């Protein structure tokens, strides 16, 4: 059981004026490639016995802009590779998910990075390691880091709250994220002039899933805390690197012939960055 600034039409989308920066997404028509690597460590306390599960997930994709208006940006995404390997007490399962490799879809995001249309990803389905049918929206619902919508100078701080709902036939997850953000200034990453933003994260997460292999319904919930670091290209209008570390300390409730509840610690580390 697993719980798992580019110049277009005269507008510079990463503006720098007299030390002030205003960031906005604006992917070019030229493809931009990403590789995202995530590790999850989940430890349950079952009547004093520790049960540990480790998950490694890799997502590779290619993005390019196909249209833009003042409200949102349309992005074409090609899924280059997806793999998910789960190491649990009952053995190792998972691997490369070949069903989605090479698939194309379009999604829309606001200039701030908020997803406005993910219906294209929902049409791409695949079978997960439990044998359930799910879709690609779970891979991209929270792909783009959210940006401040105001002009900033180094040291600028702001608070934000975001609710993310992810649903598939086998799983639903709701996260309420509170971010305490600070614009640290400009920095170079691989020769690219980037805005560096660090965030302290807190909130709650609830995940409900069904395991077809065991017939169990699984519910995980609890508060979490963590941190994030973002490097966003001022001149190109897209993120270069985004790292997150999150720890959930809560409970996992398993429903089979009876309902059982156990303490849970769930830790996730993720790095999403561009590649050549």
The answer as to whether 271 is a domain residue is: no
Helices H / strands E in the chain, number of each: 2, 18
Of the chain, the percentage scoring pLDDT greater than 90 comes to: 67
Question: At residue 73, does pLDDT exceed 90?
Answer: yes
Q: How many domains does the chain have?
A: 1
Residue range of the domain that includes 39? 7-266
Nearest-angstrom CA–CA distance, 96 and 54 = 16
15 touches 49 (CB < 8 A): no
Query: Any idea which of 3-12, 138-147, 177-186, 190-199 has the lowest mean pLDDT?
Result: 3-12
3 touches 135 (CB < 8 A): no
pTM of the model: 0.88
Which residues are CB-contacts of 112 (< 8 A; sequence separation ≥ 6)? 24, 25, 146, 147, 148, 149
The answer as to whether 272 is a domain residue is: no
Mean pLDDT of 132-154: 91
In the chain, the N- to C-terminal Cα span, in Å, equals 37
230 touches 238 (CB < 8 A): no
The answer as to whether 71 is a domain residue is: yes
Confidence tier at 256 by pLDDT (50, 70, 90): confident
Backbone dihedral angles phi then psi of residue 100, each to the nearest 5 degrees:
-105, -10
The answer as to whether 240 is a domain residue is: yes
| Nearest of 162, 193, 191, 184 to residue 229 by alpha carbon | 184
Confidence tier at 118 by pLDDT (50, 70, 90): very high
The answer as to whether 243 is a domain residue is: yes
Distance, C-alpha 23 to centroid of its chain? 19
Confidence tier at 14 by pLDDT (50, 70, 90): very low
């Amino acid at each position: 059981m697993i719980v798992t600034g580019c110049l277009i039409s005269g507008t510079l989308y990463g503006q720098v004026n007299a030390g002030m920066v205003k960031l906005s997404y604006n992917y070019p028509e030229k493809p931009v490639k990403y590789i995202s690597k995530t590790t999850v460590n989940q430890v349950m306390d079952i009547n004093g016995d520790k049960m540990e599960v480790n998950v490694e997930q890799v997502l590779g994709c290619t993005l390019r802009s196909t249209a833009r208006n003042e409200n949102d940006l349309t992005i074409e995404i090609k899924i280059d590779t997806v793999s998910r390997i789960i190491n649990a007490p009952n053995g190792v399962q998972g691997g490369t998910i070949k069903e989605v490799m090479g698939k194309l879809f379009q999604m829309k995001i606001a200039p701030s990075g908020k997803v406005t249309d993910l219906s294209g990803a929902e049409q791409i389905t695949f079978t997960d390691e439990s044998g359930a049918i799910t879709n690609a929206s779970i891979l991209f619902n929270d792909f783009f880091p959210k940006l401040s919508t105001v002009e900033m100078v180094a040291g600028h701080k702001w608070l934000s709250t975001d609710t993310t709902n992810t649903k598939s036939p086998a799983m639903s997850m709701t996260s309420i994220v509170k971010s305490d953000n600070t614009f640290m200034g400009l920095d170079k990453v691989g020769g690219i002039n980037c805005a560096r933003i660090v965030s302290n994260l807190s909130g709650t997460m609830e995940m409900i899933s069904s395991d077809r292999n065991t017939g169990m319904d699984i519910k995980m919930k609890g508060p979490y805390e963590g941190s994030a670091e973002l490097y966003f290209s001022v001149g190109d209008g897209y993120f270069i690197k985004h790292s997150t570390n999150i720890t959930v300390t809560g409970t996992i409730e398993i429903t089979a012939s009876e309902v059982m509840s156990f303490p849970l610690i769930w830790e996730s580390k993720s790095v999403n960055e561009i590649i050549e």
